[in-house]
């Protein structure tokens, strides 16, 4: 009996002991009070290394209550910190582990700062946290090194940081209420875990702009609350699981820029809730349902561009009245463009390029119908066999139109003057058609035009002076036409403007003259004063004759010159040795005589020199590029002599050479041509592919860039910059660097700007420019 009693006593005290332990543990937890909170926040303050607004120094002071600090919210009853929101203070520093002691915190937002370093795992176990926002910082860490264990969390936003590693398989085990998971714009790789379907409440899943691979797990179809799936810009493979069509609340489905394959499952086209539907740039195939208006009644963004879709564009699409963006370019769609397309009154962006689409009428009636789309800003029809004439109703298109591509569409007839009504056009491309007649002089009204491409048509007449009014023009392509007359002297108005264009986009300041493959006759001569900034000249395959002017030597930035296949004569001017940037020179197939000037040995960047089939004579120089005979072509010059390895005859004892006198410098542009002679001109500020690239790029729009692309970056005229800097006066210089000088200036409208003038045009200068722009 006694024994039993004592035994139970022992049991009792053991229980007691255990209870005691529990009480102690509870006390420890409860000991997190406002003092703990303050300590945690002061630890954060300590970890901030840069606080440009002095938030911490002036406000977060330990002699005032935590609850009065900026960014802090306390609960009145518990007197604990429930929200910490210090977004957009430009803070630099790291996140201390003590922050995890804010055990009553429901909202933690550190977004839009410059915080860096690994996020301590204590943060991810804050059980009362509902909202976690680290968007736009430089935070790192691998999500797999910890496990999200936040039993109350509703939203996790880690967008645009440097998180990496794989997404852990068990990512959702401890996130029962999670509604939004934004891990986009990080460096995650590996597969999308199928256990994501454990986050049953998930409404938005954003994994865009990572490096995820593998297939989209079909389990995603079990997340019935999903409203948005954003997986663009990853490396996802495989087919799109048809289970996605089970998601009856889905509004946004963005799967573009992956490697998805296969026929799109029909039910996917049958998601009546979809608003943003983007599959751009995958390898998907299939055709559109005939009553797409009933299948996708609410769709606003419909992007299938850059895939392998085929079949016709059903006319029912014109019933999808919410459409603002329709991007079907670069597929194999065929049939007619619906004539009722103008019923899409909200349309802002229409790209149908590079398909097999036709017009049901030669007057392109669908184009007239588009006049009803008053918000249209972008229209790309290029590369479709439209086979018709541009109707003058093209001038009734939306005045907000900024981009119009109708290149390579088998269009005949004249360019309607009415096109000049489109006064907000930035880019107009009609290249590669069968257009005839003159360039309308009314083009001078397109005051905002930056790119004009009329190349490869059958345009006649002269280069209208009115084009010289297009002060913002930086790309002009007119080659491959039958234009005639002289190059107007006002052209130099354009070149000077463009030479000072401080464009965006890593646009290199290339000024490129391309008059190639035409019937230019006359002599060659440049007003060097105006064309100093030339980087390239291509006048090959014309009928130019006479001497090359010595003034060419003033083109210090010239990197590329091709004068092949002309009838140029006389010697190579000594001044060619001053073309210090020259990389490629082709003078082949002319009648150039005399000797090769030794000054050319100085051209240290020259890597290709073609002098073949001329009448050159005398000794070939032996220095510079002439030491590398794979880089020099001299064949077909019977009278040249030199070292035996050059496969020319050895030189006899040198005798004085008869120098041809080069003709007098001529100071104006004087390629003056008889009117009857066809002339084609192409001047480009950027190389041609730039324009094409833009055209291409514009077909590819992600949700992020839908309506903001086509950026109209401000351009400046030479005059504006000259005035703003007092003709680049010394006293306006605010800095000098290895590559150039920086001038401070104020424009007439009061805007303060900095202007960098590069002393040299080289890759490193451009890199430095790009780096500076980023900063």
Ligand X SMILES: *[C@@H]1O[C@H](CO)[C@@H](O)[C@H](O)[C@H]1NC(C)=O
Sign of CA dihedral 271, 708, 429, 254: negative
**Among 630, 575, 638, 594, residue whose Cα is nearest residue 612:** 638
Of 42, 67, 154, 187, which lies in the binding site for ligand X, with binding defined by CB under 6 A?
A: 187
Q: If you search the block for the tokens 């005051």, which residue do you land on?
A: 447
Helix (H) or strand (E) holding 541: none
Under 8 Å between Cβ of 378 and 329: no
Q: Which residues pair with 228 in a beta bridge?
A: 204, 252
- The contact mask relative to ligand X for 2-31 (x = CB under 6 A, - = no) is -----------------------------x
DSSP per-residue string spanning 722-734: HHHTTTT-GGGEE
User: Could you give the CA distance from residue 436 to residue 411 in angstroms, rounded to a whole number?
Assistant: 10
Residue 619 and residue 641 in contact, taking contact as beta carbons nearer than 8 Å = yes
53 touches 86 (CB < 8 A): no
> Binding residue for ligand X (CB under 6 A) from 73, 94, 122, 128?
122
In the complex, minimum distance from the CB of residue 563 to ligand X, in angstroms, rounded to a whole number: 19
Cβ proximity to ligand X: between 575 and 586 the closer is 586
With CB under 6 A as the contact rule, the residue among 4, 63, 654, 727 that binds ligand X is: 63
Closer CB to ligand X, 270 or 517, in the complex = 270
Question: Taking the complex as a whole, how short is the minimal distance between the CB of residue 303 and ligand X, in angstroms?
Answer: 12
Taking residues 576 to 595 in sequence order and writing x for each that binds ligand X by CB under 6 A, - otherwise, the string is --------------------
Interface with ligand X, residue 266, by CB under 6 A: yes
Select from 44, 452, 539, 700 the one that contacts ligand X (CB under 6 A).
700
667 interacts with ligand X by CB under 6 A: no
Nearest distance from C-beta of residue 474 to ligand X, angstroms: 16
Among 696, 728, 732, 744, binds ligand X (CB under 6 A): 696
d(CA 675, CA 672): 9
Residues 458-477, interacting with ligand X (CB under 6 A):
465, 468-469
By the rule CB under 6 A, 36 interacts with ligand X: yes
Distance from C-alpha of 453 to C-alpha of 456, rounded to nearest angstrom: 9
319 contacts ligand X (rule: CB under 6 A): yes
Residues 6 or more apart in contact with residue 46 via CB below 8 angstroms: 96
Single out the residue of 281, 339, 495, 518 in contact with ligand X (rule: CB under 6 A). 281
Residue 428: phi and psi, rounded to 5, are: -130, 120
Strands 261-263 and 276-278: unpaired
Nearer to ligand X, 216 or 568 (CB): 216
3-class secondary-structure state, position 108: strand
Asked if 424 interacts with ligand X (CB under 6 A), we say no
Asked if 67 is part of the footprint of ligand X (rule: CB under 6 A), the reply reads no
User: Based on CB atoms, which residue is closest to ligand X, 243 or 387?
Assistant: 243
- The nearest distance, CB 218 to ligand X, in angstroms, is 8
Q: What is the nearest approach in angstroms of ligand X to the Cβ of residue 741?
A: 26
Q: Which residues are part of a known binding site?
A: 767
Question: In the Cβ-directed half-sphere of 460, how many Cα atoms lie within 13 Å?
Answer: 7
Asked if 144 interacts with ligand X (CB under 6 A), we say no
Q: How far is CA 183 from CA 171, 265, 583, in A?
A: 12, 27, 47
Which of 6, 49, 53, 68 binds ligand X (CB under 6 A)? It is 68
Question: Which residues are bridge partners to 204 per DSSP?
Answer: 180, 228
Token representation of residue 260 = 């998805």
By the rule CB under 6 A, 315 interacts with ligand X: yes
Please say which residue, 174 or 758, places its beta carbon nearer to ligand X. Answer: 174
Measured between alpha carbons, how far is 318 from 292 in angstroms, rounded to an integer? 9
Of residues 42, 418, 490, 670, which one binds ligand X by CB under 6 A? 490
Which residues are CB-neighbours of 243 under 8 A, at least 6 positions away? 218, 219, 220, 221, 222
| Position 413 contacts ligand X (CB under 6 A) | no
Cβ proximity to ligand X, 127 vs 736, nearer residue: 127
Sequential DSSP letters for 131-156? EEE--SSEEEEEGGGS----TT--EE
Which one of 7, 14, 23, 70 is in contact with ligand X (CB under 6 A)?
70
φ, ψ of residue 648 in degrees (nearest 5)? -125, 170
CB 137 within 8 A of CB 116: yes
What is the C-alpha separation between 45 and 438, in angstroms, rounded?
70
Q: Of residues 198-237, which lie at the interface with ligand X (CB under 6 A)?
A: 211, 221-222
Q: Is residue 674 at the binding interface for ligand X, with CB under 6 A as the rule?
A: no
* Pattern 156-185, ligand X, x by CB under 6 A: ------------------x-----------
Q: Which of 11, 33, 78, 764 binds ligand X (CB under 6 A)?
A: 33
Task: Note the helical H segments in 427-517.
Answer: 491-499
Site for ligand X in 620-659 (CB under 6 A): 628, 630-631
Q: Is the CB of 266 or the CB of 711 nearer to ligand X?
A: 266
Q: Which of 287, 318, 408, 525 binds ligand X (CB under 6 A)?
A: 318
The contact pattern for ligand X, residues 363-402, with x = CB under 6 A and - = no contact, is ----------------------------------------
In the complex, what is the shortest distance from the CB of residue 1 to ligand X, in angstroms, rounded to a whole number? 43
Distance CA 189, CA 315 (A): 41
Instruction: Name the binding residues for ATP.
Output: 767
Among 100, 407, 480, 695, binds ligand X (CB under 6 A): 100
DSSP 503-516: -STT-----EEE--
65, 120 in Cβ contact below 8 A?
Answer: no
Residue 149 within binding range of ligand X, rule CB under 6 A: yes
Residue whose CB is less far from ligand X, 223 or 394: 223
Q: What is the Cα–Cα distance from 608 to 634, expressed in whole angstroms?
A: 11
Q: Which of 594, 559, 564 is nearest to 579 (CA)?
A: 559
Q: Does 601 contact ligand X by CB under 6 A? A: no
Task: Give the residue from 350, 345, 470 showing the smallest Cα distance to 406.
Answer: 350
* In the complex, least distance from residue 494 CB atom to ligand X, rounded to whole angstroms: 9
Q: How far is the CB of 744 from ligand X (least distance, A)?
A: 26
- Structure-token match 């100085």, residue found: 602
Q: CB 69 → ligand X: shortest distance, Å?
A: 6
C-alpha angle 654/660/661, rounded to 5°? 135
Judged by CB under 6 A, the stretch of 6-14, 34-42, 534-542, 759-767 that binds ligand X is: 34-42
Please check whether residue 706 is in contact with residue 325, taking contact to mean a CB–CB distance below 8 angstroms.
Answer: yes
Written as six digits, the tokens of 435 are 């257009």
| Closest distance to ligand X from the beta carbon of 343 (Å) | 8
Asked if 42 is part of the footprint of ligand X (rule: CB under 6 A), the reply reads: no
Q: Tokens 């069509």, residue? A: 245
Q: What is the dihedral of CA 586, 485, 394, 700, to 10 degrees?
A: 10
Residue 189 contacts ligand X per CB under 6 A: yes
Taking contact as CB under 6 A, which single stretch among the options 55-63, 649-657, 708-716, 735-743 is the one that binds ligand X? 55-63
Helix (H, G, I), strand (E, B) or coil at 531: helix
Pick from 98, 103, 105: nearest CA to 121: 98
**Interface with ligand X includes 608 (CB under 6 A)?**
yes
Q: Is 270 in the site for ligand X (CB under 6 A)?
A: yes
Size of the site for ligand X (CB under 6 A): 55
- Pick the closer one to ligand X by CB: 8 or 628: 628
Footprint on this chain of ligand X (rule: CB under 6 A): 31-36, 39, 58-59, 61, 63-64, 68-70, 97-98, 100-101, 122, 127, 147, 149, 174, 187, 189, 211, 221-222, 243, 246, 257, 259, 266-267, 270, 281, 293, 315-316, 318-319, 340, 465, 468-469, 490, 493, 607-608, 628, 630-631, 696, 700
């Amino acid at each position: 009996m006694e024994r039993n009693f004592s035994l139970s006593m022992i049991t009792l005290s053991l229980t007691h002991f255990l209870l005691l332990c529990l009480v102690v543990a509870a006390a420890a937890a409860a000991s997190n009070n406002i003092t703990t909170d303050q300590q945690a926040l002061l630890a954060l303050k300590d970890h901030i290394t840069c606080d440009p607004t002095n938030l911490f120094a002036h406000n977060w002071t330990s002699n005032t209550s935590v609850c009065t600090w900026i960014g802090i919210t306390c609960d009145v009853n518990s007197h604990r910190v429930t929200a910490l929101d210090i977004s957009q203070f430009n803070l630099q520093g790291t996140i201390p582990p003590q922050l995890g002691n804010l055990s009553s915190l429901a909202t933690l937002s550190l977004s839009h700062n410059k915080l860096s370093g690994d996020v301590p795992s204590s943060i991810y176990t804050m059980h009362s946290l509902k909202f976690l926002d680290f968007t736009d910082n430089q935070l790192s860490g691998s999500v797999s090194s910890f496990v999200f264990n936040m039993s109350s969390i509703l939203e996790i936003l880690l967008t645009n940081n440097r998180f990496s590693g794989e997404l852990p398989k068990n990512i959702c085990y401890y996130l029962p209420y999670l509604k939004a998971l934004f891990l986009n714009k990080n460096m995650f790789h590996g597969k999308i875990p199928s256990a994501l379907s454990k986050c049953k409440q998930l409404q938005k899943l954003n994994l865009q702009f990572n490096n995820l691979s593998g297939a989209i797990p079909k389990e995603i179809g079990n997340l019935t609350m999903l409203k948005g799936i954003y997986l663009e810009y990853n490396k996802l493979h495989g087919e799109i699981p048809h289970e996605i069509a089970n998601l009856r609340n889905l509004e946004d489905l963005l799967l573009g820029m992956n490697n998805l394959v296969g026929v799109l499952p029909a039910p996917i086209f049958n998601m009546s809730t979809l608003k943003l539907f983007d599959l751009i740039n995958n390898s998907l195939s299939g055709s559109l349902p005939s009553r797409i208006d009933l299948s996708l009644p609410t769709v606003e963004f419909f992007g299938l561009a850059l895939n392998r879709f085929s079949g016709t564009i059903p006319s029912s699409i014109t019933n999808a009245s919410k459409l603002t963006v329709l991007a079907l370019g670069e597929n194999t769609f065929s049939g007619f463009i619906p004539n009722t397309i103008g019923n899409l009154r909200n349309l802002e962006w229409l790209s149908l390029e590079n398909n097999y689409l036709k017009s049901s009428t030669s007057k392109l009636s669908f184009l007239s119908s588009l006049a009803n789309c008053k918000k249209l800003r972008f229209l790309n029809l290029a590369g479709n066999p439209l086979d018709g004439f541009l109707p003058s109703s093209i001038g009734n298109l939306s005045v907000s139109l900024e981009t119009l591509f109708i290149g390579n569409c088998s269009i005949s007839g004249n360019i309607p003057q009415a096109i000049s009504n489109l006064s907000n056009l930035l880019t107009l491309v009609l290249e590669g058609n069968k257009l005839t007649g003159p360039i309308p002089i009314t083009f001078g009204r397109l005051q905002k035009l930056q790119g004009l491409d009329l190349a490869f048509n059958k345009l006649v007449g002269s280069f209208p002076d009115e084009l010289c009014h297009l002060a913002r023009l930086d790309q002009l392509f007119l080659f491959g036409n039958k234009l005639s007359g002289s190059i107007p002297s006002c052209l130099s108005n354009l070149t000077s403007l463009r030479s000072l264009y401080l464009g965006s986009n890593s646009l290199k300041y290339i000024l490129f003259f391309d008059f190639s493959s035409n019937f230019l006759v006359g002599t060659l001569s440049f007003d060097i004063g105006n064309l100093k900034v030339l980087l390239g000249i291509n006048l090959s395959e014309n009928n130019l004759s006479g001497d090359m002017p010595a003034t060419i030597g003033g083109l210090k930035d010239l990197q590329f010159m091709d004068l092949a296949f002309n009838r140029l004569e006389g010697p190579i001017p000594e001044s060619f040795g001053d073309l210090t940037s020259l990389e490629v020179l082709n003078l082949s197939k002319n009648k150039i005589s005399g000797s090769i000037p030794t000054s050319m040995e100085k051209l240290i960047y020259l890597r290709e020199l073609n002098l073949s089939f001329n009448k050159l004579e005398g000794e070939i120089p032996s220095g510079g590029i002439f030491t590398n005979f794979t880089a020099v072509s001299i064949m077909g010059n019977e009278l040249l002599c030199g070292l035996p390895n050059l496969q020319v005859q050895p030189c006899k004892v040198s005798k004085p050479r008869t120098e041809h006198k080069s003709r007098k410098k001529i100071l104006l542009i004087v390629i003056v041509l008889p009117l009857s002679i066809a002339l084609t001109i192409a001047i480009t500020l950027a190389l041609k592919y730039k324009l094409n690239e833009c055209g291409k790029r514009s077909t590819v729009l992600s949700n992020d860039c839908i309506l903001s692309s086509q950026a109209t970056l401000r351009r400046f005229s030479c005059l504006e910059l000259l005035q703003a800097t007092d003709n680049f006066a010394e006293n306006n210089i605010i800095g000098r660097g290895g590559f150039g000088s920086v001038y401070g200036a104020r424009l007439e409208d009061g805007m303060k700007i900095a202007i960098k003038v590069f002393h040299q045009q080289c890759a490193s200068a451009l890199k430095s420019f790009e780096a500076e722009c980023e900063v």
